[in-house]
Structure 1
Amino acid sequence: MTNPDEVVLQQVRELWTAVDPPPPLLADWVLFALEPTTADVEIFRAGGRRELAGARGEECTRSITFSGTRRTVVLTLTPSTEDTVRVDGWIAPPGALPVELRTGKRLLSTTSDERGRFAFDQVEHGQVQLVVRDDGTTLTPAIVL
């Protein structure tokens, strides 16, 4: 005999699947976000997000702040073309550190300058994750460009 609670839970699951199904790529997004985590990895906490007025027409720039125990990172995302975004970043406290931007298709690498500044040009829209390598590894939660 079937447990009545299980029947009700199955009906609720079916209702929510019909009314508000999960995004088709949800499982991929979760795996993307969790992939690099190991015991020595710190994940930044997302702080403030701001929409900044564009200087040219309809262009809209976003600024996101991420905080960790050792570092803070500010990202400014500016549309480059219809399909790409420029990512400018600043690390505090500043220093020349290896910085990576993980996308769904590739890994972009650079080094911040002594003032903590770095940039990635023409990053395709989609999910990305920033990785800063210093004494350990610190990464942001996945964000969508």
Structure 2
Amino acid sequence: MRPEFEDQGGYEQLDSCDERILAVINELHHRDDPLPDDLNERVLFALELEAALDARVARISRENELVPMRGETEMTVGQGDPASITFDCETVTVMVTPRPSAVHELRLDGWIGPEGIYEVELRSGDGSKLASTDESGRFVVEGLPGGQMFQLVIRPEESLQRNGLPAVVVTPAVRL
């Protein structure tokens, strides 16, 4: 044992009691906060986007609301009043608000900053819908089925890319 750690017991051999304690901690961890089944695919997806497409993967930014755990694969938005969701990465912020528009359909109002023209692709299980922002970064996508997962792919115009924005920003998938 190194002299600076003599009084801490940091290098003693594990005994059967230590192994039982670690086994219980491991079991609790796997039961209450398991790793997502698709963790490897998520990491590879993010790395491939950033490397190949100069894309950034935005994160959900929600103050004082749901805190995602590692085991979650989706977040639910809605029920009653519309809930805004904000996604952000280093240089781009996207805020979306789902609103009822017709029976069993939703409308997604969105704003992207910094201001400018963006192409917005909304991906869902039903396919993709395209929209463009106005110069202030505002967009609308209508006719969305409620309860489905969706993901946004944001592509800034070339002038914004020349000013330092990535070519592609992808949001995590969320459920409306």
- Taking structure 2 as the reference length, what is the TM-score of the superposition? 0.56
State the match for 1:100 in structure 2.
Answer: 121
* Structure 1 length-normalised TM: 0.67
Q: CA deviation at 1:50?
A: 8.4
1:47 and 2:61 are equivalent in the alignment: yes
Q: C-alpha separation between the residues in 1 aligned to 2:37 and 2:97?
A: 27
Percent of residue pairs bearing the same amino acid type? 35
Which letter maps to 1:95?
A: G
How far is the alpha carbon of 1:130 from its aligned partner?
0.7
| 1:80 alignment partner, SS class | strand
- Go from structure 1 to structure 2 and tell me whether the alpha carbon gap of 1:98 and 1:59 turns closer, same or farther (over 3 Å shift): same
Structure 1 or 2: larger helix share? 2
- Map 1:33-72; keep pairs closer than 5 Å: 37=49, 39=51, 40-48=54-62, 59-72=80-93
Q: 2:45 & 2:140 partners in 1: Cα distance? A: 24
Question: Is the CA contact (8 Å cut-off) linking 1:94 and 1:116 kept in structure 2?
Answer: yes
Give the letter aligned to residue 110 of structure 2: G
* Structure 1 gaps, min length 5: 1-18, 20-25, 52-57
Residue matched to 1:12: none
CA distance in 1, matches of 2:139, 2:119: 10
5+ long unaligned stretches in structure 2: 1-30, 66-78, 162-166
**For residues 108 and 98 of structure 1, do their structure 2 counterparts lie closer, same or farther at Cα, with a shift above 3 Å needed?**
same
| Structure with the larger strand share | 1
Pick from 123, 140, 148: which aligns with 1:119? 140
What does residue 154 of structure 2 align with? 132
Mapped partners of 1:142, 1:79: distance in 2: 19
Note the alpha carbon deviations across 1:92-113, whole angstroms, 9 max, x for none: 1111111110011111001100
> Are the counterparts in 2 of residues 87 and 119 from structure 1 also a CA contact under 8 Å?
yes
Q: CA deviation at 1:122?
A: 1.6
CA RMSD of aligned residues (A): 3.3
